[in-house]
Structure 1
Amino acid sequence: MNSRKYDYILVGQGIGGTALAWHLIEAGKRVLVVNDSSRPSATSVAAGIYNPLTGRKLVKTWMADIIFPYAAHFYTQLEGTLHSRFVYPLPIYRPYRSLEERNSFLTYASESGVAEYIAKDSDSHSDIPGLRAPLGGLVVKGGGWIDLTSVVNRSRSFFIENNQYIDCDFFSIKLTINDSNVSWGEYEAGKIIFCQGVDARENTLFDWLPFNPVKGQILDVLFDKYSAEEIVNQGIFILPSPDRQTYRVGATYSWHDLDWATTDDGREYLEDRLRPLVTDQYTVLAQRAGLRPSSKDRRPFIGLHPVHPTIGIFNGLGTKGVTLAPYFANEFVQYLENDKELNSEVNIDRHFSLYYR
């Protein structure tokens, strides 16, 4: 077989491209990943937190009962394949802001369909050193974080070792689209799938999709006394590193100034919310910013181009890509290879009218 012929070319290797590559490889497909590792990536900044109950009203994450177990299986299996640790299950402690919030949360937890995610001792006071939580807090089970940087980097090493990766910018001028295949320079494939994150806004094949990027900033912090094994979440999160020496604090959400630069406003926003939560001093070691590839309806963009069936997209994973990517990578592969219908909430055919407008 010609070594430059593939079943799929994937453009981009954030968590979306990485998860899709692994699922296609598992399906026995020849895959080539084209990625410019020098470009900034949302995955490299993301904290990788997965949380079944989000927001001030403890809303269950969309499809959490299906997506979370699948993601856990995917990352755990990948740990074995790559002989690395990626998965850090942790409870999520939510300090009560007021007695009213405490009563509301406890009532909601007992009367709604989220009880399985609430620990039985949720009404107890916190014994986390350095945390200010005088009213106690709610303990959410089934959460944790994934070391996405390690997932991507270790996967990249695997792809390189198996001649499945090219590190370069993707020049669309080299792309030739045919009815049954595509060619990109000297490479040929049955299909090309774009997994470019926010860069997809500049891709003329898919710039008609309603992207709604969100800028997020986080801080790396060293505390004097604060020490927690769990994730603390009250407006912001405080995420422990594996060695419990440093912590990530985040995140901001901004729909303007969409660049990769950190800002004084971003740091001030996070520190204004951190100070009331902790009782001791801390040092900010670093600040990072990323652009999340979100969509206006908060659902992924997955599917094939309305005119070119050899061109596809896997994108729009937004703030929850850590859990959405594995599950919908599998769904996309089943759609591509076995004609399984895609979930209508993620299929880009819901936006085809924008292309023909």
Structure 2
Amino acid sequence: MSSDAAEFDYLIIGQGIGGTCLAWHLHRAGKSFRIVHDSTAPSSSRVAAGIFNPLTGKKLVKTWLADELFPYASRFYQDIERQLGVKFYYEMPVFRPFRSVEEQNSYIAQTAEPGIAPYVDAAKPPLAMREYVQSELGGLTVTRSGWVDLPVFLDHSKAFFEQSGCYTEGSFELTDLEVQPQKVLWKGNVFQKVIFSRGFFEVGNGFFDWLPFAPVKGQILEIETDMPSEPYIINQGIFMLPLDKHRSKAGATYSWDPLDWATTPEAREELEGKLRLLLRGRYRVTAQLAGVRPSVKDRRPLIGVHPEQDNICIFNGLGTKGVTLAPYFADQFVAHLEHGKELNPLVNIKRYFSLYFR
């Protein structure tokens, strides 16, 4: 090793939503780091609609840790917006049209529950919604929801870290990494720890291939509508996210074979079938996108330190809720690495150490 080798606290592999949130928290903590990322590689973070929604599923279930995750994410993204001087965080209600009288009665009853009530708006959405969306029975309006324009967040964050000398563009090869007991060597530089955060691409990582990843392919459409939309995310078997009055994203599909980044006519047909049931007006498809979500069998992130090599770490498995999970658990993970604060056991990879040692 050359005597003039640069030394850093962390090497972050990947600049998706996970790696970017980690970088911001390490920056705030005053730590030295380098991000390595190949911007030509496919990225699920750039395909994702970036929606955050506290009440999900057919049974109107409150998102896990919503009371903690959502306020933290809101503060985090708005702080970064102010620092970068750019807008990418949008609060927007979710409108859920009732599909039946039974669902209407069930949802209305649930809104009285203390855990659900703070996330529901009793006011009716604009009458124009009925001209735009099939909602003869009305619907439920969910608050504290919205979306993050992930390409804008990622691109401006990348530019910031480039200007700060913290970003390296290029592909990462595991064979270039030399792990020693007290340090990690990579391309002539010395790091105290390396954190892998490449989403689906970590499935084949020899350090962590024993973890129970359950990746899922998803596809979305970008559409233009003749009828102007209202500023509501629509959720009824499919989401519709208005980008402006006439442009929206719609999705998403779920499939497990093959796990590639190619769009398919079958997915488009599935999504358009749901759109026709939801929309009253005409639309046209302008784009179709595909990505592979880094999901996990128990639907909880995979965060922590390797069971035998304490300078090898992972921050992954954020799945479909990465925009709220990433900021909150990046904060937790940095506190864990720097100050020994305990990680939430439901995300700590210690819960799977038995798979490594068997």
TM-score by length of 1: 0.97
Q: Which residue of 1 aligns with 2:287?
A: 286
Taking the aligned partners of 2:109 and 2:343, their CA distance within structure 1 comes to 37
Give the counterpart letter for 1:75 in structure 2. Y
The Cα shift of 1:244 comes to 2.4
1:47 maps to a residue whose letter is A
Alpha carbons of structure 1 residues 344 and 82: separation in structure 2 relative to 1, 3 Å: same
SS in 1 for 2:203: helix
Q: 1:270 to 1:226 in 2, by over 3 A?
A: farther
Aligned to 2:302: 301
CA drift at 1:67: 0.4
Q: Distance in 1 between matches of 2:5 and 2:275?
A: 53
Match of 1:48 among 47, 50, 53: 50
- Which residue does 2:218 correspond to in 1? 216
Report the secondary structure of 2:220's partner residue: strand
Distance 1:278 1:318 in 2: 28
Q: Distance in 1 between matches of 2:220 and 2:5?
A: 42
Please report how far the alpha carbon of residue 111 of structure 1 lies from its aligned counterpart in structure 2 after TM superposition: 3.4
Measure the CA separation in 1 of the matches of 2:340 and 2:127. 51
2:192 to 184, 190, 193: 190
Does 1:328 find its partner at 2:341? Answer: no
Match of 1:170 among 172, 178, 183: 172
CA distance in 2 between counterparts of 1:82 and 1:4 reads 28
Cα deviations across residues 115-140 of structure 1 (Å, max 9, x unaligned)?
Answer: 11111125x78532421211100000
Instruction: Give the aligned partner of residue 13 of structure 1.
Output: 15
Contact 1:125 1:137 in 2 (8 A): no
**CA distances 1:268-325 after superposition (whole Å, capped 9, x unpaired):** 1111111011112110000000001000000000000011000000000000001000
Partner of 1:97: 99
Summarize the alignment of residues 1-357 of structure 1 with structure 2, pairs less than 5 Å apart.
4-111=6-113, 113-122=115-124, 126-128=127-129, 129-241=131-243, 243-357=244-358
SS of 2:90's equivalent? strand
Give the conservation status (yes or no) of the 8 Å contact 1:117–1:140. Answer: yes
Once the two structures are TM-superposed, the CA of residue 226 in structure 1 deviates from its matched residue by 4.3
**CA-to-partner distance for each residue in 1:106-160, whole Å, 9 max, x for gaps?**
01111352011111125x7853242121110000011000111111110001111
Query: 2 CA distance for matches of 1:95 and 1:57?
Result: 13
Contact 2:228/2:246 (<8 A) preserved: no
State the AA in 2 paired with 1:14: G
Secondary structure at the aligned position of 1:340 is classed as coil
How many aligned residue pairs are there?
355
Change (3 A) 1:125 1:75: closer
Q: Quick one: distance in 2 between partners of 1:50 and 1:285? A: 24
Residue 314 of structure 2: SS of its match in structure 1? Answer: strand
* Greater mean deviation of Cα atoms: 247-256 or 301-310: 247-256
Would the aligned equivalents of 2:5 and 2:190 in 1 still touch at CA under 8 Å? no
Looking at structure 1, the residues matched to 303 and 297 of structure 2 have their Cα atoms a distance apart, in angstroms, of 14
Aligned amino acid, residue 71 of structure 2: P
Measure the CA separation in 2 of the matches of 1:126 and 1:96: 15
Aligned amino acid, residue 247 of structure 1 = S
The aligned amino acid for 1:265 is: E
C-alpha deviation, 1:172, in angstroms: 1.2
Is there any run of 5+ residues in structure 1 with no aligned partner, and where?
Answer: none
CA distance in structure 2 between the aligned counterparts of 1:111 and 1:312, rounded to whole angstroms: 40
Equivalent residues of 2:5, 2:188 under 8 A apart: no
Q: Which moves more between the two structures, 246-255 or 57-66?
A: 246-255
After the TM superposition, which segments of 4 or more aligned residues of structure 1 sit over 6 Å from their partners? none
Deviations, residues 233-280 of structure 1 (Å, cap 9, x unaligned): 101011010x32300001111122110001111111111111011112
Structure 2's unaligned 5+ residue stretches are none
In 2, the alpha carbon distance for the partners of 1:56 and 1:112 equals 19
